[in-house]
A and B are shown apart, each in its own frame.
Chain A
Amino acid sequence: MTTKDNEISTARHRSERRWLRWAGRNVMLTVGLLMLILLILFTVLTPFIVPIDAFSISAASKLQPPGLDHLLGTDELGRDQMSRLIIGANISLRVAFAATVLTAIFGISLGMLSGQYPLADIFISQISDALLIFPGVVLAIMILAALGPSEVNVVIAVFVLYVPRVIRTVRAAVIEYRGADFVMAARSLGASDLRILSLHIFPRAIGPIMVQLSLGFSSAILVEAGLSFLGLGAPAPAPTWGGMISGARDYIRTAPWLMIAPGAIITYAVISLNLIGDGLRDMLDPRSRSIGQ
């Protein structure tokens, strides 16, 4: 090998090792990301490898335990569990993603407005705080009762549930940084409000916002599952994870595998996102770590 080849390969080696070292320092974040990527790949690629069919009904093959034909068994209508889980993953991830994106867009902009302009603050804060009064999913249930069960409405419900929290965080950050020296310096140089907010305050606040959004994403999955379980999510025959658990209720003694699989995969998805959220938090504030140094 020529010296140039040697140099290139050692350079590559070094950058690989750098990634490994970073991964070693941020264990939780890495594991969480890997888990999530695995899940996404599984749901996206499997249909190309193995034919999946979440909808065909077959009386003959109903309630079969996990086996070669159906890796996770079949439900009471003979539908393949594995396929249903994959479509369910699509639904859950889609809903959580859409809700989180909406929450991010509106939460950040409204939060910034609220923190910067006292007039806007009165309206936005009041409504936001009022929404936060409702315990847990009750707010989502109310909205779905009014709008009717559907995937889109679940996104709206989850969005309304979480946007007040993001607004609060962003607002708090804006208020905290509003009087900071660097803001006053920028203002004295003639920077507009928008410029200050986006170029100076936002980059500093992005950390806690990212943490909250990623934890919001995982909560969105749990909330969507809960709502689907109650029958307020995407209606049948859509194979939502929550809906599958609800359906498996009656067969808990005869076909326990129907109950176990959907819950396990929900837990897996939520753990992976929580790890990402916690990993991000640790990256920003190493003092709170318990593992690593």
Chain B
Amino acid sequence: MFAYMVRRIVIFVPTLFITLTLIFVLTRMLPGSPVASLLGGQSVNSAMLDRVSQDLGLDRPIFVQYIEWLPKILTGTFGESLFFTKPVSEVLMQRLPVTLSLTVFALVVTIVVGIPLGILSAVKRGSFLDYLGNIVSSIGMALPPFWLGFILILVFAVDLKWLPSSGYRPIEMGFWPWLSRLILPTIALSLSQIGLIVRMTRSTMLEVLDTDYVGMARAKGMPEWIVIMRHALRNAMVQIITAIGLLFALGLGGSVIIEQVFALPGLGELITTAAIRRDYATLEAGIFYLTLTALVVNLLVDIAYAYLNPRVRLA
């Protein structure tokens, strides 16, 4: 177990580097990146052009740019963006809690709703409940989340006026103001995740329920609920845990768009706005933070998996 953990953490570092390199390559080396298009559409004088060039190091050879960029991004000095008065790193730190609130809340809802539904579908396979679950999860996965967001706003904020339609209140300003603004975005974000996890849980449970050891548990005279909980589910959970990392990554990806819909000032909204405005400094930094979060969560999930699977734990 310990060896596994060490190995896993060690792999984290090169992975991080590869990610950074990719970010660099994709934002700077693709055609269409020069400063002119960066400021495309804005009327600027040549002095500003020069300054931006220098700032981003675009006037120097690519490899040199990379070497200089790397330490900057690793230490969090992302420089200053044209569009914010504060340094980018500060902006990022402000926005991180918003995104985390949304994605963690969505993850919790997904797990709490999705896994039991998946288990029920598997146990009552072929029944009406199973069929219904299948349909609901199919539709949930097909709805464009951003569109769902607007529909929710239309129904709950505009027509029924039960919930506010947009914006974010940090939790320090009160629990309900914070929560009420997260409910609709979370539903929009988590619906497709729920569809996914219901299916995953169902198929894993079906596989497990088919195994020899579950059959053996029944042959020993174990009551059905023990068979399902202690024998089937325990083994299924090991596999389902690995899906949590995937779900979180999906949540992060989805939050990018949902934040736009509900005007939540999080990392995602930052990234999309930066992308449209070609604010490369912010874009790179935002993507880096987001991806870093995903990597860390994946690392934690892998460690949790190693702990839960006795074969790995005792290796």
A and B interact: yes
Interface residues of A (CB under 8 A from B): 126, 130-131, 133-139, 141-148, 218, 222, 225-226, 229-232, 242, 245, 248-249, 252-253, 256, 259-260, 262-263, 266-267, 270-271, 274-275, 278, 287-288, 290-291
Q: Residue on B with the closest CB to A249?
A: B150
CA distance A107 to B88 in the complex (A): 37
List the 6 closest pairs (A to B, CB-CB), nearest first. Answer: A136-B253, A263-B147, A135-B252, A145-B275, A270-B142, A146-B30
**Interfacial residues of chain B within 133-152, with CB under 8 A of chain A in the complex:** 134, 138-139, 141-148, 150-151
User: In the complex, are the beta carbons of A266 and B147 less than 8 A apart?
Assistant: yes
Give the nearest-CB partner of A137 in chain B.
Answer: B253
Q: Among the interface residues A231, A271, A288, A290, which one has the most CB atoms of the partner chain B within 10 A?
A: A290
Closest residue of chain A to B279 (Cβ to Cβ) is A145
Interface residues of chain B: helix, strand, loop or mixed (majority): helix
B271-303 residues at the A interface, CB under 8 angstroms:
271-272, 274-276, 278, 280, 283, 287, 290-291, 294-295
Cross-chain contact A290 with B121 (CB below 8 angstroms): yes
Interface string of B204-247 (1 = CB under 8 A from A): 00100000000000000000000000000000000000000000
State whether the Cβ of B65 lies closer than 8 Å to any Cβ in chain A.
no
A218's closest neighbor in chain B, by CB? B142
Residues A274 and B150 in contact in the complex (CB < 8 Å), given A136-B254, A138-B256, A230-B272: no
Which of B's residues lie within 8 Å of A, judged by CB? 15, 18-19, 22-23, 26-28, 30-33, 37, 121, 125-126, 130-131, 134, 138-139, 141-148, 150-151, 153-154, 158, 202-203, 206, 249-254, 256-257, 260, 271-272, 274-276, 278, 280, 283, 287, 290-291, 294-295
B147 touches A288 (CB 8 A): no
A-B contact pairs, 23 of them (CB 8 A): A130-B18, A134-B19, A134-B253, A134-B294, A135-B250, A138-B252, A138-B256, A138-B287, A146-B28, A226-B144, A230-B276, A242-B144, A252-B150, A252-B154, A260-B151, A263-B143, A263-B144, A267-B139, A270-B143, A271-B139, A278-B138, A290-B134, A291-B131
Q: Which of B37, B148, B275 contacts A141 (CB 8 A)?
A: B275
The distance from the CB of A141 to the nearest CB of chain B, in whole angstroms, is 5
Q: Which residue of B lies closest to A131 (CB)?
A: B22
Contacts of B249 in A (CB 8 A): 135-136
Q: By the criterion CB–CB under 8 Å, are A135 and B142 in contact?
A: no
Tell me the bound Cα distance from A176 to B294 in angstroms. 29
Complex contacts, B278 vs chain A, CB 8 Å: 145
A145 touches B147 (CB 8 A): no
Residues of B within 8 A of A287 (CB): 206
Inter-chain contact B283/A145, CB cutoff 8 Å:
yes
Pair A142/B27 contact, Cβ less than 8 Å: yes
B residues near A253, Cβ cutoff 8 Å: 158
Task: Point out the residue from B27, B146, B252, B260 that lies within 8 Å of A146, measured CB to CB.
Answer: B27
Contact A126 B253 (CB under 8 A): no
Beyond the given A130-B22, A134-B22, could you list 11 further A-B residue pairs with CB under 8 A, ordered by the A residue number?
A134-B294, A135-B291, A143-B30, A145-B27, A226-B144, A229-B257, A245-B144, A245-B147, A263-B147, A270-B142, A271-B139
A134:B158 contact, CB within 8 angstroms:
no
**Contact present for A146 and B32 (CB under 8 Å):** yes
- Contact: A138 with B144, CB < 8 Å? no
Q: Given A131-B22, A230-B257, are A144 and B134 neighbors across the interface (CB < 8 Å)?
A: no
**Residues in B neighbouring A133, C-beta threshold 8 A:** 15, 18-19, 291, 294-295
A42 to chain B, nearest CB (A): 18
**Roughly how many angstroms separate A245 CA and B260 CA in the complex, as a whole number?**
13
Q: How far is the CB of A180 from chain B (nearest CB, A)?
A: 22
Shortest distance from the beta carbon of A78 to any chain B beta carbon, whole Å: 22
A142/B257 contact (C-beta < 8 A), A135-B249, A287-B206 known: no
Q: Are B291 and A138 in contact (CB under 8 A)?
A: yes
* A288-B199 Cα distance, complex, nearest whole Å: 10
Residues of B within 8 A of A148 (CB): 32, 37
Provide the bound-state CA to CA distance between A278 and B202, in Å.
Answer: 14
Smallest CB–CB gap between A228 and chain B, Å? 10
The answer to whether A232 touches B276 (Cβ under 8 A) is: yes
A134 to B27 CA separation, bound complex (whole angstroms) = 14
Provide the residues of chain B in CB contact with A145, threshold 8 Å.
27, 274-276, 278, 280, 283
Given contacts A142-B26, A143-B30, A290-B125, contact A134 B287 (CB under 8 A): yes
Question: Bound state CA distance, A267 and B144, in angstroms?
Answer: 7
A274 and B30 form a contact (CB under 8 A): no
- Chain B residues near A230: list those with CB within 8 A: 257, 260, 272, 275-276
Contacts of B147 in A (CB 8 A): 225, 245, 259, 262-263, 266-267
Residue of B nearest to A161 (CB): B253
A290 to B49, CA, bound (A): 62
Specify which of A131, A248, A274 is in contact with B138 (CB 8 Å cutoff): A274
Q: How far is the CA of A271 from the CA of B135 in the complex (A)?
A: 10
